Structures are given as C-alpha cells and as structure tokens.
Amino acid sequence: MVLDRVSLNMPAGIITSLIGPSGCGKSTFLRILNRMHELVPSAAMAGQVLLDGADVYDPKRRLTDARRHIGMVFQKPNPFPAMSIRENVLAGLRLTGMKASNSDKDALVESSLRRAGLWAEVANRLSAPGGGLSGGQQQRLCIARSLAVRPRVLLMDEPCSALDPTSTRVIEETMLELAQEVTIVIVTHNMQQAARVSQQCAFFLASQGTPGVIVEHGDTSAMFQSPQDERTAAYVEGRFG
C-alpha cells in the first residue's frame, strides 16, 4: 500500500502544493487524481476523487473525459518531437475527440500559448518542431497542450526540477497567472518554490515501510512559519528529507 486514508480538499482559484520526502506517495496521489495510476496493471484504489461533487471514478464516466477535465504536466517535458509546435498544442483535441474548425484551431493555439506564456517566443515559427525548443519552452508547450482541452484542474509533477532558474521563474509566473482560471496542484521538493507559488500546502510522510499519510495541511504561510506538527517543522526547516 502506497497511501492510506488520505483526504484533501483542493479549492478552486488557489495553488495547492504537495511536499514531503521521496517515496511518501505525493506523485502517486497526484496520478490518482486523474486516473493515471491505472496505467500500472496491478494498481488498485479505494475511495473517491470528487470534482464539483462528481466522482471521476464513476463507472459511467469515460476515462478520456476524466483526463480532459483534469490535465497533467510531468517532471520531464514531453512534447511530441515529430510534431510542430502548433500540432503539439492541438494534440489533445485529437486524443479526446474534440472537434474544431481551422479558424477555431488557430485561435485555440494562440490562446493556449498565450496562457502558457509562450506565444511571444514562438508566434513566428509555429511549424517548427516542438522538440527543438529549449527545456523551459518545451515545458510551457506541454502546459499549452494541456490547456487546449480546457481542463478544470491542472496537475503538475515537479514541473521545474529539470529546468534552470530563469525557466523556473517563468513557469512559476505562468502558474500564478493560470490559477485565476484553473485549479492547480503541484508536487515539489523545493520548499522555496512551495512558499512562492502555493496558498495551500499538504505535507506527506511515510516512515519505516508504512503507507504515506498527510501529516499536516493548511495555509502555506502558516505551515512554514508555525507548523502544528514537529515532523512538519523538521522537514520545512531542512532537518531531514
């Protein structure tokens, strides 16, 4: 068992950060939120994931529908290298069966790239390969690809861990802007990043082979400045992890 009796409310309009040492179940929890863990044949899950009161695990609900409403950006940028920048942005439409006219697609490409903070850098080379962009640009392209299908929630699994400080700053600025229109949940090992971008924080911990649990969660500033649990204090102060 990776996680045990984990429950967390992630309100709209704010960024929730998931922190904790490696191996405590943060990324597993994130993948459960949009059924990505089902890609592991032996995986099983009990419980509910509610989006506006509706369970994304409802047997009547299509998997593609759940993932369209709850998008995901991974640790390593993963644009489709053989596709152009424009094709990368539109790839989600094809995968989810969404229809759009050519003019609508043009508008969607521009809108998604603008929201991801990339339009000014690629507007004149939309036909260039997505794999030819820098690491930070590739990650923003992946964000644009996720936004193109108009998700309600955007999950981000250590989206800046492979990026340089300048690219990290741009991604963080993009997240803060996007939080006004999409609910964001981010896994990060960077305590400074959690403090900079999130308004709510949850501290995960697994010890001595036991499943991961949420030790403490709440306002990010409060958790960093006056945590209620000694284990939280030890982690955010860098005494372990």
Examine the pLDDT at 143 and tell me if it is beyond 80: yes
Q: What percent of the chain has pLDDT over 70?
A: 100
Lowest-confidence range among 18-32, 93-107, 193-207? 93-107
Distance CA(178)–CA(157), nearest Å, equals 16
The DSSP H or E segment spanning 18 is: strand 15-19
What is the per-residue pLDDT for 134? 95
pLDDT at residue 112, as a whole number = 96
Q: Which spans in 38-164 are helix H? A: 63-69, 85-96, 102-115, 119-122, 135-147
- Residue 41 pLDDT greater than 90, yes or no: no
In residues, how long is the chain? 241
- Report the sign of the C-alpha dihedral through residues 39, 43, 46, 47, in that order: negative
Q: What is the DSSP letter of 3?
A: B
Provide the pLDDT for residue 22: 92
Q: Domain 15-79+152-236 is of which CATH architecture? A: 3-Layer(aba) Sandwich (3.40)
Is 63:35 a contact under the CB 8 Å cutoff?
A: yes
**Segment 162-191 mean pLDDT:** 94
Q: How many CA atoms lie within 13 A of 48 on its CB side?
A: 8
| 98 confidence band (pLDDT: 50, 70, 90) | confident
Q: Where are the chain's structural domains?
A: 15-79+152-236
Q: Are strands 54-55 and 213-219 parallel, antiparallel or unpaired?
A: unpaired
What is the value of pTM for the model shown? 0.92
Mean of the per-residue pLDDT values for the chain? 93
Q: Mention every residue, 6+ apart, whose C-beta is less than 8 A from residue 94.
A: none
